[in-house]
Structure 1
Amino acid sequence: MGLRIGDIAPDFEIDTTEGSINFHDWAKGSWVFFFSHPADYTPVCTTEMGRTAQLADEFAKRKVKPLGLSTDTVEAHKGWINDINETQNTQVEFPIVADKDKKVAKLYEMIHPGESETATVRSVFIIDPNHKIRLTMTYPMSVGRNFAEILRVIDALQTGDKHGIACPADWELGGDVIIPPTVSSEDAQKKFPQGFKTVKPYLRYTSVKDED
């Protein structure tokens, strides 16, 4: 059975482009955007690695550490990074795991035999500071990830944790949020003094601010 939301992300020790890491020690106190790509020196992966690097400031302000992975070697990763930096006009500074023995790929079930017996698909794990898996997504090899959605869901998770709310469909940072049905109207009045709108007893909207 695969990893599920709410599970503790498995720990591992492995070589990366930034040296050997113990995953839990490296991630301690931070959110993690852990993602796999099929192979170095391939076109879609080059754009994805470049986009991750371009968004370094966006990840940093959310206290998120990106961590890439493929089954290539450290040497291959480092050579490819030069191509990424050149073609994507950026600087890759986050570590990329060299999972040549497929140890971590198997641990996180990143290899889907229907796509490839040896290369990882485009898996995404959003992991919180307690090492808990909060979101999983899997893209096929031929489709690059939507990084606006990755940032959006990190915002949603962090906003939910901070304010005890849920986020509606297509929610974006700054938009109205939903008061969970488990919060009584009496408690909602205390918790959300800014007020809320009741559409149905189970559907109540309110607003929150980052500085609240």
Structure 2
Amino acid sequence: MEETVVKETVKSLPRIGSKAPQFEAVTSHGILRLSDYEGSWVILFSHPADFTPVCTTEFIGFQEIYPQLREMNVELLGLSVDSVSSHIAWVRNIEEKFGVKIEFPIIADLNKDVAQLYGMIMPEESSTETSRAVFVIDDKQIVRAVIYYPLTTGRNMDEILRLVKALQTTDQHGIATPANWREGDKVIVPTPATTEVAEERMKDDSVECIDWYFCKKQL
């Protein structure tokens, strides 16, 4: 019975390429729905608890990249199982103690409704706190990337920025991005689907080919 339950739970979790599960939730900015963000990209992320040191560093980090994200048409939406009052008090504390004003909303998921919907709770690690999950949702409300971090490890904001930029660049130009890619670096040209196209690719001076399947170009 236990094995069946686990399989059913995993099956229900959002997958890359699937429609992001819709929800309505109480937040530090009032009641919000995921559908309110349609037309914008969204980074939905969870943290274990308010008034904890690692989470505090993360919220400061997310706020620091928030202006850059908004320039990229990306909104931030945090979540934990704390109350709205706790969120408000914590945000005020961060501003008072660290001089950083948190401008994005935080979901108060007391009943764990959204956390369960998105698989943000790892019972083997903690049954009472949400993990450090990150869901990148595009402007069509499709899940494009999912990252999980353990409770002990804070997230890398540069990587989150890089990931979103890579996804948006891929959408815009129909390419892929190599390991450690950053804006301005060469991108990967899609692998040829036929022998004829492979032959043509090797003669194309606009791309840099190591072999027929491995070609880069500058955008």
* Matching residue within 42, 47, 57 for 1:47: 57
Corresponding residue of 1:170: 180
* Matching residue within 5, 8, 12 for 2:23: 12
TM-score norm. by structure 1 comes to 0.91
* Matching residue within 164, 167, 170 for 1:160: 170
Q: In the aligned structure 2, how far is the partner of 1:129 from the partner of 1:15?
A: 22
Structure 2's unaligned 5+ residue stretches are 1-10
TM-fit CA distance, 1:198 = 1.1
Aligned-pair identity (%): 43
The answer to whether the Cα contact below 8 Å between 2:201 and 2:212 also exists between their aligned partners in 1 is: no
Q: In the aligned structure 2, how far is the partner of 1:62 from the partner of 1:113?
A: 35
Corresponding residue of 1:63: 73
Distance change in 2, residues 1:20/1:182 (3 Å):
farther
Amino acid at match of 1:167: T
* Matching residue within 107, 113, 137 for 1:127: 137
TM-fit CA distance, 1:188 = 6.6
Moved more, 7-16 or 79-88: 79-88
Q: Tell me, what secondary structure is at the counterpart of 2:87?
A: helix
- Structure 2 counterparts to residues 14-33 of structure 1, below 5 A: 14-24=25-35, 26-33=36-43
Number of corresponding residues = 204
Structure 1 moving runs of 4+ over 4 Å: 185-189
RMSD: 1.7
Larger Rg: 2
Amino acid at match of 2:56: T
Q: In the aligned structure 2, how far is the partner of 1:188 from the partner of 1:91?
A: 51
1:166-207 Cα offsets, whole Å, 9 max, x none, are 000111111000001146458879xxx981111110000001
The answer to whether the Cα contact below 8 Å between 2:199 and 2:212 also exists between their aligned partners in 1 is: no
1:205 aligns with 2:216: yes
Q: In the aligned structure 2, how far is the partner of 1:123 from the partner of 1:156?
A: 19
Q: In the aligned structure 2, how far is the partner of 1:39 from the partner of 1:187?
A: 56
1:122-149 Cα offsets, whole Å, 9 max, x none, are 0000010010000000000010000100
The answer to whether the Cα contact below 8 Å between 2:48 and 2:151 also exists between their aligned partners in 1 is: yes
Q: In the aligned structure 1, how far is the partner of 2:201 from the partner of 2:166?
A: 20
Which structure: greater helix fraction? Answer: 2
Q: Tell me, what secondary structure is at the counterpart of 1:148?
A: helix
TM-score norm. by structure 2 comes to 0.89
TM-fit CA distance, 1:88 = 3.4
The answer to whether the Cα contact below 8 Å between 1:47 and 1:88 also exists between their aligned partners in 2 is: no
Corresponding residue of 1:137: 147
Q: Tell me, what secondary structure is at the counterpart of 1:113?
A: coil
The answer to whether the Cα contact below 8 Å between 2:198 and 2:213 also exists between their aligned partners in 1 is: no
Corresponding residue of 2:8: none
The answer to whether the Cα contact below 8 Å between 2:177 and 2:188 also exists between their aligned partners in 1 is: yes
The answer to whether the Cα contact below 8 Å between 1:50 and 1:85 also exists between their aligned partners in 2 is: no
